[in-house]
Amino acid sequence: MRTLFRLSVLTLSAALLAACGGESGGDAQEVILYTARHYDSDELINRRFEEETGIAVRSISADSDLLIERIRADGARSPADVVMTVDAGRLYRAEQAGLFQPVQSDILDSRIPASLRHPDGLWFGFSRRARVFVYAKDRVQPGELGGYETLADPALRGRVCVRSSGVIYNISLLAALIDRWGPDRAQDWADGVVANFARIPSGADMDQILAVRAGECDVALVNHYYFARLIASDPTITDTVAIHWPEAGGGVHVNISGAGVAAGAPHPEAAVRYLEFLASDEAQRMVAETNGEYPVEADVEYDNPIIAEFGTFEADPLNVSVLGENQAEAQRMFDRAGWP
């Protein structure tokens, strides 16, 4: 595994040199974007940014952990201007590796809620994703479901599908519950969810939804936009599966995709302009309409009938930086609970 990782890093390094023409420098009218996102919305955003500013975006895509390791290893030689990844827990890992520099921008401070950005301006959220339940309409009544504590209710013994504990989405959720409930109750919750497994955790979020439809479980924990994508490809899924907002007791857990200016960015001014464009109404609409994520700016209007049909929800006001701070404790709780 270590050899494979080393080879992956070398492969990424070669790609970077080919894309950037060297270790650093180049035309000042460009932004070198290292991103763990791979969505059509991002390509549209990059093209519109180029059209509006004349600044080219050179995008390097790879797994979050690989990107973080590559930039950390390159140090001052890294050509990265902007580092973008999904989940505040991963942003925290990049932050701890020293990959970001603080940014002062009135636009970012006014457009992005304080709960969705780093307190010192190291990174900023640009899309919201909610961790929700999907359930079998013929086997679960909506009144049976409440907040996240429901997943540990003995009434759901043998009826819950979830992903593995190592998935950052689950780590961040438990990190939020540690802050909300305290460590003892959070540990009890992890223990209770394990007792309610319908099967050993496996697959991605989409697989959990399909398992509910197939009758393998009655309730699953997923990010909302996976359900939105599935509806877009197969509208009949809503005949048997519905969404539930677990907002009781503190609000729905909301996470982000986010980005910051790299610590050694060769083009820091262009990088800040790129972040400010991500916060614009236009870019926020693209995120919602193309990928089914929610804008971070509450007043942005967008046209996505699928997520509009989901309705509104009350979000947990917790600052997402806490998700990273609590992630090590959350993983230990999962391990003690026997959550694979």
* Segment 79-135, tens digit of pLDDT: 999 999 999 999 999 999 999 999 999 999 999 999 999 999 999 999 999 999 999
Cα–Cα distance between 234 and 255 in angstroms, integer?
A: 26
pLDDT digits (tens, 9 = 90+) for 210-254: 999 999 999 999 999 999 999 999 999 999 999 999 999 999 999
Q: What is the pLDDT of residue 29?
A: 87
| Tokens 């959550």 sit on residue | 339
pLDDT of residue 18: 40
293-339: per-residue pLDDT in tens?
A: 999 988 899 999 999 999 999 999 999 999 999 999 999 999 999 99
* pLDDT band, very low/low/confident/very high, at 28 (cuts 50, 70, 90): low
Copy the structure tokens of residue 325. Answer: 């701070």
Task: Give CA–CA dist 241/222, Å, rounded.
Answer: 13
Six-digit token string for 239: 């005949």
pLDDT surpasses 60 at 274: yes
In the chain, list all ranges with CATH 3.40.190.10: 2-128+255-302, 129-253+316-337
Q: How far is the C-alpha of 176 from the C-alpha of 198, rounded, in Å?
A: 24
For residue range 137-185, what is the model confidence (pLDDT) as tens digits? 999 998 999 999 999 999 999 999 999 999 999 999 999 999 999 999 9
Q: What is the pTM of this model?
A: 0.91
Query: Which CATH number is associated with domain 2-128+255-302?
Result: 3.40.190.10
What would the mean pLDDT of 12-41 be, rounded to a whole number? Answer: 65
27: pLDDT strictly greater than 80: no
Q: Is 41 left (phi over 0), alpha (psi -120 to 50) or beta?
A: alpha
Contacts 24+ apart (CB under 8 A), 41-44: 41/286, 41/287, 41/289, 41/290, 41/291, 41/293, 44/286, 44/290
Q: Taking a C-beta distance cutoff of 8 angstroms, is the pair 152, 191 a contact?
A: yes
Q: Are 4 and 50 in contact (CB under 8 A)?
A: no
pLDDT at 159: 98
**Residue 54 confidence class, pLDDT cut points 50, 70, 90:** very high
Distances 48 to 51, 97, 194, 256 between C-alpha atoms, Å: 5, 31, 46, 22
| Extended beta strands in the chain, E state | 30-35, 56-61, 82-86, 124-136, 160-161, 219-223, 241-244, 254-261
pLDDT band at 187, cuts 50/70/90?
Answer: very high
CATH superfamily of 129-253+316-337: Periplasmic binding protein-like II (3.40.190.10)
